[in-house]
Structure 1
Amino acid sequence: MDNTRSPYVAGAFYPDDNETLKDDIKSYMAINTPELEYKKLIGVIVPHAGYKYSGHTAAYAYSIIKKNKKNTFLIIGPNHYGFPSYPATYSNGYWNTPLGYARINSELAEKLLLKSDIIRDDKEAHTVEHSIEVQLPFLQYIFGDNFSFTPLILGNQSAAVARNIAETIETLAEKPFIIISSDLNHYNSYDKNNELDQILINDIIEMKILNYYDDIKKYKLTACGYGAIATLMAVTKQQKGKIALLNHSNSGDYSSDKGRVVGYSAMVAYK
């Protein structure tokens, strides 16, 4: 199929075998999710580590998505390499995973490019980034090929960039469901990492964006998609919504290594 991005981390972050991948996701999705009353769902925050570490937590967010009526998604994640610095989308075509082809929503991509003065179309920026790719098998498991998505990765994750993207999203007549791809803190001891994660979680729930950025600097917090998270915070504030925690864990919960762990959260923005 022309203009198709091949999987970059299949076989590493998640299984590269179709049946094994489906079985793994099915096992993660067999959870009892918290009851949540809402009129409208705005988006979720999900981790993007290897499935064996973060898939259990990601499933809490995808259980909410499964109940959602929308099947158009804007997936925002960090560019772990920091280059290019501008927000980059992939405006048309397909992304491939072991579960098939996921279609880019080119109409949404074009609207973002038209309405934002900082977002650029740059397919090359996505070739070696995993934060968005790892979300697709969950969506494919839930929706098959009956969904579309627009990827957006952030090099510069400043508050100004987050605000620009949030304001751009607010100009859209029909707003997509927003999936924010980010892990939380990295490589502290089990208890210390949980302590630092709680600072982030509290700031996200309170939606105090400047305080959130201040705490990132003050406590040297290392959530890799902090700017993507700030974007959802800004969108949720604009829509007078709330953000709630569905689940929190870290890699030490699924590994014998509790000396250097990575934190994960599933959170939901709603009205």
Structure 2
Amino acid sequence: MSRNRRETAQVRRATHSGSWYTDNASELNSQLSGWLTKCERVDAPVRALIAPHAGYYYCGSCGAHAYKQMDPAKIKRVFILGPSHHVRVSGCALTATEKYRTPFYDLIVDAKINSELNGAGPFEVMSIDTDEDEHSIEMQLPYIAKAMESRKGNFTVVPVLVGSLTPEKEQMYGMIFAKYLADPENFFVISSDFCHWGQRFNYTFYDKSQGDIWKSIESLDKMGMDKIEKLDAKGFNEYLKQYQNTICGRYPIGVLLHTIEAMRKVSNGYKLSFKFLQYSQSSKCSSMRDSSVSYAAGVLMMY
């Protein structure tokens, strides 16, 4: 998984800061605080979230609706599952670094959990090049650092790069992660944008009965979001097969849904529900020459 630049490093640099989001900590703090202040809290304990990973200019305000729900007082460890955009990964991969840098402060990688996961199933290890090239995990880090700032230095992160998985592999990893999701001291962040629409994405599905193209895209996305809210792993997979919607975090979402299924098999004592809190598009497409990316923020509540 190397691109022959650097094989190892103790710290993963914030390689997308200064371009995808500001590298000025004061400016970034003001920006995130402003978005978070405008969001409301749900009246339930939240144990996982789905948030977008595009540049903050496009999706930062959307992601705030999910990150508003993190309760740092109850969290000791944050699992971050993001899709691989640049390299082929047949399973899941863990970081080889000790820290992930953000403009706020460094996030400490949980070496103990990495070791446990390596012993529990087929996990690869990312080269530092693969780690630093990938934005899907990095774009969650400033928000995690901001939401968890009251526990700076007292929590860890477990970054997981998720490859193109079969439903069987999603189920396998779900069984591995189930015990961690069941632990109330753990929190899961699932990194995903939704529909990438337009000729530049080789995806132009258009249901004219919905009206404008952007309305068709929203309808398409919300069909998938409905499967997620119903915690229906099989239904979500069937939806993807039918419509081929270009949801880049489809595999991390699939792992989460299978994790929930596996956890339910071990214990039926949990009351679970998923709710999407915000949906947006980078632009409203009106012609076949246009393009857009959709964003959604949602949370898994567990009682």
1:22-37 to 2 correspondence within 5 Å?
A: 22-33=29-40, 35-37=42-44
- Whether the 8 Å CA contact 1:91–1:109 is kept in 2: the answer is no
One-letter code aligned to 1:74: F
Q: Could you tell me how far 1:252 is from its partner in structure 2?
A: 2.2
> Which of 67, 86, 89 lines up with 1:81 in the alignment?
86
- Aligned to 2:68, the other structure's residue is in SS state helix
| 1:224 and 2:229 matched | no
> Which of 186, 196, 200 lines up with 1:186 in the alignment?
196
Aligned to 1:11: 18
- Whether the 8 Å CA contact 2:72–2:148 is kept in 1: the answer is no
CA distance in 2, matches of 1:76, 1:234: 13
- Whether the 8 Å CA contact 1:249–1:265 is kept in 2: the answer is yes
> Which of 102, 113, 120 lines up with 1:108 in the alignment?
113
- Whether the 8 Å CA contact 1:73–1:150 is kept in 2: the answer is yes
- Whether the 8 Å CA contact 1:91–1:105 is kept in 2: the answer is no
- Aligned to 1:218, the other structure's residue is in SS state helix
| 1:247 and 2:275 matched | no
Runs of 4+ residues deviating >6 angstroms: none
> Which of 110, 122, 127 lines up with 1:123 in the alignment?
127
Aligned to 1:54: 59
| 1:95 and 2:119 matched | no
- Whether the 8 Å CA contact 1:74–1:149 is kept in 2: the answer is yes
- Whether the 8 Å CA contact 1:236–1:242 is kept in 2: the answer is no
CA distance in 2, matches of 1:223, 1:83: 17
Q: Could you tell me how far 1:176 is from its partner in structure 2?
A: 2.2
- Aligned to 1:139, the other structure's residue is in SS state helix
- Aligned to 1:263, the other structure's residue is in SS state strand
Aligned to 1:163: 171
CA distance in 2, matches of 1:88, 1:68: 29
One-letter code aligned to 1:190: W
CA distance in 2, matches of 1:12, 1:161: 34
- Aligned to 1:37, the other structure's residue is in SS state coil
- Whether the 8 Å CA contact 1:81–1:155 is kept in 2: the answer is no
CA distance in 1, matches of 2:11, 2:118: 20
- Whether the 8 Å CA contact 1:244–1:267 is kept in 2: the answer is yes
> Where does the alignment leave 5 or more consecutive residues of structure 1 unmatched?
none
Aligned to 2:74: 69
One-letter code aligned to 1:196: L
User: Number of paired residues?
Assistant: 263
CA distance in 1, matches of 2:260, 2:273: 7
Highest Rg: 1 or 2? 2
Aligned to 2:290: 259
CA distance in 1, matches of 2:131, 2:161: 8
- Aligned to 1:170, the other structure's residue is in SS state helix
The C-alpha deviation readout for 1:226-267, integer Å capped at 9, x for no partner, is: 0101111122233452211111111127xxxx9311111111
TM-score, structure 1 as length reference: 0.89
- Aligned to 2:18, the other structure's residue is in SS state coil
CA distance in 2, matches of 1:34, 1:97: 25
Percent of residue pairs identical: 23
- Aligned to 1:36, the other structure's residue is in SS state coil
| 1:198 and 2:211 matched | no
